[in-house]
């Protein structure tokens, strides 16, 4: 089975913390994120083999109950997704910069995975929810053509899409601010 991620978003912080505990106890998963996001919600993101993520996600959905806002499951994720979510990416070859913005955390994560699968780019970061009003955004870099292809593939017909941009030659100061 491939590597997968699962996410549960809740409207209760207390129930979110409890849900994260049940999820990691339900299966052999890694807890990527268990934290508050704006505006006063809580997200839990786990990764692992597809079967384990499914089991943890099922437990998370059961525990979230009436506090469930959104959920997400992606099987066979692109290898760049977890480092981009964790903020551990080291960009070796900077190039053009692309940005995808969404009203939803789940939409941003899905878009990042799709962008990485669509073109030869490097995901810089998937920023989710904190200090950005509950939104999510993705930054990526690569050859201008690849960045445009990734942006188009990841934003086409997407719910809760806000905006995107491609900056062919970002200034060194702007580029550094993204790393």
- What CATH number does the domain containing 28 carry? 3.30.70.1710
Q: How many domains does the chain have?
A: 2
Rounded Cα distance, 83 and 72, in Å: 18
Boundary residue ending a domain (41, 74, 107): 74
Q: Does residue 38 sit in the same domain as residue 93?
A: no
Q: Among residues 45, 74, 103, which one ends one of the domains?
A: 74
The beta strands (E) that lie in the chain are given as 3-10, 30-37, 41-49, 68-74, 96-102, 122-128, 136-142, 161-167
Rounded-to-integer distance, Cα 42 and Cα 18, Å: 11
pLDDT of residue 7: 96
Cα separation, 89 vs 101, in Å, equals: 19
What span, in angstroms and rounded, lies between the C-alpha atoms of 142 and 96? 5
Q: How confident is the model at residue 129 (pLDDT cuts 50, 70, 90)?
A: confident
Residues 26 and 93 in one domain: no
Q: Of residues 177 and 124, which shows the higher confidence score?
A: 124
Examine the domain organization and report whether 168 and 119 are in the same domain: yes
Is 46 within 8 Å of 31 (Cβ atoms)?
A: yes
* Position 108 pLDDT exceeds 60: yes
For the beta carbon of residue 24, count every other beta carbon within 10 angstroms.
19
Q: In the β-sheet with 96-102, what is the strand arrangement from edge to edge? A: 122-128, 136-142, 96-102, 161-167
Domain that holds residue 100: 81-178
What integer is the mean pLDDT of 106-123?
94
Question: 49-54: long-range contacts at Cβ-Cβ below 8 A with a sequence spacing of 24 or more?
Answer: 49/1, 49/2, 49/3, 49/4, 50/1, 50/2, 50/3, 50/4, 50/75, 50/76, 51/1, 51/27, 52/27, 52/28, 53/4, 53/5, 53/6, 53/27, 53/29, 54/4, 54/6
The mean per-residue pLDDT over the stretch 127-149 comes to 87
């Amino acid at each position: 089975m491939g590597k997968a991620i699962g996410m549960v978003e809740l409207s209760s912080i207390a129930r979110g913390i409890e849900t994260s505990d049940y999820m990691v106890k339900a299966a052999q998963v890694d807890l990527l994120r268990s934290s508050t996001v704006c505006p006063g919600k809580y997200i839990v993101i786990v990764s692992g083999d597809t079967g384990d993520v499914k089991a943890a996600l099922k437990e998370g959905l059961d525990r979230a109950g009436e506090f469930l806002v959104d959920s997400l499951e992606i099987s066979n994720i692109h290898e760049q997704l977890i480092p981009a979510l964790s903020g551990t990416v080291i960009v070796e070859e900077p190039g053009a910069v692309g940005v995808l913005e969404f009203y939803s955390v789940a939409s941003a994560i899905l878009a990042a995975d799709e962008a990485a699968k669509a073109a030869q780019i490097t995901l810089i970061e998937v920023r989710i929810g904190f200090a950005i009003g509950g939104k999510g955004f993705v930054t990526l870099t690569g050859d201008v053509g690849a960045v445009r292809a990734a942006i188009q593939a990841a934003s086409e017909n997407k719910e809760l899409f806000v905006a995107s941009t491609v900056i062919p030659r970002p200034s060194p100061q702007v580029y550094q601010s993204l790393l």
